Amino acid sequence: MELKSVKKKYKALNFAAGCSREVIQRGADMLDRTLDDLISDTILAMRTLEKPQAE
């Protein structure tokens, strides 16, 4: 998952339909971060939690 693909999907209302984009933006504002920075940091954090695939 990359920032560019998330941003493209983010515009579609059916992507993360249960999430409030207003709340996400407010959170970014509270952290004094851009939305891009917040999404990038979230992607990086999620990658640290990925489990290796069984071969």
Query: How does pLDDT run across 10-32, given as a tens digit for each residue?
Result: 889 899 889 999 999 999 999 99
CA–CA separation, 32 vs 26, rounded Å? Answer: 10
Tell me the three state secondary structure of residue 51: coil
CA–CA separation, 46 vs 19, rounded Å? Answer: 17
The total of other beta-carbon atoms located within 10 Å of residue 39's CB is: 19
State both tokens at 30.
């509270």
State both tokens at 51.
């489990």
Query: How does pLDDT run across 37-48, given as a tens digit for each residue?
Result: 999 999 999 998
Give the predicted TM-score (pTM) of the model.
0.76
